[in-house]
A and B are shown apart, each in its own frame.
Chain A
């Protein structure tokens, strides 16, 4: 994959604020179960952070709240200087309406564990559909860009295939191209290799490494691939019970974790691999 070429195709607009993502006292509950407890954290423009922690610790929920797939019960989320969850009406902040959410959400993209490609569309249309309807590109422009992106993820020959005709690794690479086609400033990666056969993990991680190396996209990554987390991230956040237990650059957190909870978690994960 040609990293310079990728930088040419994916133009990320410069950041509008000093913080690309900010969570302010965000609470998320499912019934009586409090998944996030007054969570505060921020991500700088271009920063790559990895969220680690035991399952049920709320990592994926953070990505889903940011992507507006779920709604926070309390607190505010800001993206690139705009509040995603609320709008100002007079002196009050009121919950954002769909129009406002769509305006802010266009800065965010997401790649899912289960790929979630549209099975009724060929690969080319999977990648070009949203740019036509959300970025206002003509069908021709969107397809030309989709082809460039698909070539960059090594799938230039698969434009006319349906997702069901591709391997899991190929599907996930299409999903990456599809997310990049929207020129997001922030990219959420939700356990993107967990559903893949072991031999297909590398092809997906390589593509993501290149995206990280050649663009300024801010990335929030939930993963169990500790080596990938170490290679790509600037900061690792250890979660437990809906709160950040510890955060540090990967070299420090993986070699000299301070918190006992982090140590036990890392030991368990590393034994598994």
Chain B
């Protein structure tokens, strides 16, 4: 089989449209994962044991079941409960919630890494607890976990092809569609790999720079 350049240029625009969907899903999914992860991390430190236990159970459950099963559940089962989501909506919720359980652990490590003396100083200054979190703890905890959070965003980006299983026309679905029509899979699938690489490499580079800047 010989590489067909004319065919390559022909299919590139469609693959790039798929890439846009992939990037959009990653960005929206990341926002969900980064925000919900922080919420979960804070809930796991709640003074109320019930909240701690329920949150811990939720995190364990989501982490211990495959993302694909969760995506199927959101897309195929929820409609029977009266909640119908588009493939993209189900996809970003699935990705976001799944990765939130990972980022919550990252945040937790970051929070626990803030020295005890910082909490004590905040107590001695009588700062209200919401202010302690906003001004003292999180500004110290988050910078040091940015590289770890960045790695999860990249990992999520590479998992977006799973969304093709729930009808989202992301890059891999686009490539497979092209292949099915033309019976040529070499060019579309190779391009998919290259395009993933094209985004992942600069992203990894950025994470490494963050590590150097905030690394300990």
Contacts and interface: CB of A to CB of B under 8 A. Distances in A.
B126 interface: yes
A109 B117 contact: no
Contacts of A114: 117
A165 B66 CA distance: 48
Given A119-B140, A133-B131, A182 B125 contact: yes
A114 B119 CA distance: 13
B117 A134 contact: no
A41 to B, nearest CB: 21
B110 to A, nearest CB: 13
A120 B121 contact: no
B121 A118 contact: yes
Contacts, number: 60
A102 B128 contact: yes
- Please tell me the size bucket of the interface on A: 20 to 34
A117 B121 contact: yes
Interface in A83-120: 98, 102, 105-106, 108-110, 112, 114, 116-120
A134 B126 CA distance: 7
Given A121-B135, A129-B135, A133-B131, A109 B118 contact: no
A110 B123 CA distance: 9
A100 to B, nearest CB: 13
Contacts of A120: 136, 139-140
B215 to A, nearest CB: 16
B117 A178 contact: no
- Please tell me the size bucket of the interface on B: 10 to 19
B126 A69 contact: no
Contacts of A106: 126
A116 B119 CA distance: 9
A102 B126 contact: yes
Nearest to B139: A120
A133 B139 CA distance: 17
Nearest to A67: B124
Nearest to A130: B125
A134 B125 contact: yes
A178 B122 CA distance: 11
Contacts of B115: 116
Contacts of A121: 135
B120 interface: yes
Nearest to B129: A98
B35 interface: no
Contact of B121 (A108, A116, A134): A116
A103 to B, nearest CB: 9
A179 interface: yes
A243 interface: no
Contacts of A182: 125-126
Residue of A105, A116, A117, A178 most packed against chain B (CB within 10 A)? A116
A228 to B, nearest CB: 21
A69 B122 CA distance: 10
B78 interface: no
A118 B126 contact: no
A67 B128 CA distance: 15
A121 B120 CA distance: 16
A68 interface: yes
A69 B116 CA distance: 10
B121 A105 contact: no
Nearest to B117: A116
B85 interface: no
12 contacts: A67-B124, A69-B123, A98-B129, A110-B120, A110-B124, A112-B117, A112-B120, A116-B117, A120-B136, A120-B140, A129-B125, A134-B127
Across the A-B interface, the 3 shortest Cβ-Cβ residue pairs: A116-B121, A130-B125, A110-B124
